[in-house]
């Protein structure tokens, strides 16, 4: 290694361009910004989605429908999944903590049992919602269904009438 081989470490030196330091620098006059227009002016900042005056894409694409802010979204669990859980654990009482423990739902999920598949074991289940066919299948085998209020308390079996 000799003196003519030495180089500074990567990104340790500034750019050799000295912009806006007069005509003698070779970058004087417009300071590499070109002539006129918004980008040559001081204080210019490019707005997100700005397309040079052309109608921006987010204004061109039409919006469809609406998002219901009051929608309640449930995580579905089928009877076949419950039967597999019963076969695996031999449990007769199924509640949210058992479903969370076996990875069928997340901690904050609301659960709805659907009637897809068959159930061969008598189970007592407490969940947030259940379909009519799933309720019939569970009760046909002598099991019980307890609906939990979304706050975590057990609600009554009957739906309140307004």
Tokens of 83: 């039967």
56-67 per-position pLDDT tens digit: 999 999 988 898
Share of the chain above pLDDT 90, in %: 60
Query: For residue 146, what pLDDT band results from cuts at 50, 70 and 90?
Result: very high
Compute the distance between CA of residue 24 and CA of residue 80 in angstroms, rounded to an integer.
81
pTM to 2 decimals?
A: 0.57
Is the pLDDT reported for residue 158 higher than 50?
Answer: no
Compute the distance between CA of residue 76 and CA of residue 63 in angstroms, rounded to an integer.
29
DSSP for 96-133, written as a single string: HHHHHHTTSS-TT-EEEEE--S---S--EEEESEE-HH
Average pLDDT score over the chain: 88
Tokens of 149: 């209020």
Compute the distance between CA of residue 153 and CA of residue 150 in angstroms, rounded to an integer.
7
pLDDT (0 to 100) of residue 84? 94
Compute the distance between CA of residue 122 and CA of residue 145 in angstroms, rounded to an integer.
11
Instruction: Give phi and psi for 129, each to the nearest 5.
Output: -155, 160
Is the pLDDT reported for residue 108 higher than 60?
Answer: yes
* Residue 99 CA, distance from chain mean position: 21
Is the pLDDT reported for residue 99 higher than 80?
Answer: yes
More confident position, 4 or 150? 4
Report the SS3 class of residue 1.
coil
């Amino acid at each position: 290694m000799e003196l003519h081989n030495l180089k500074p470490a990567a990104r340790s030196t500034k750019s050799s361009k000295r912009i806006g330091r007069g005509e003698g620098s070779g970058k004087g006059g417009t300071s590499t910004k070109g002539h006129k227009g918004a980008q040559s002016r001081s204080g210019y900042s490019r707005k997100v989605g700005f397309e040079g005056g052309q109608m921006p894409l987010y204004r061109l694409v039409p919006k469809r429908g609406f998002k219901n802010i009051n929608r309640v979204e449930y995580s579905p669990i089928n009877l076949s999944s419950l039967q597999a859980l019963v076969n695996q654990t031999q449990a007769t009482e199924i509640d949210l903590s058992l479903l969370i423990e076996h990875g069928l739902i997340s901690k904050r999920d609301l659960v709805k049992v659907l009637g897809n598949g068959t159930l061969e074991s008598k189970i007592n289940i407490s969940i947030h919602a259940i379909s009519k066919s799933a309720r019939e299948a569970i009760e046909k085998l002598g099991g019980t269904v307890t609906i939990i209020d979304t706050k975590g308390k057990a609600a009554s079996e009957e739906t309140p009438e307004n």
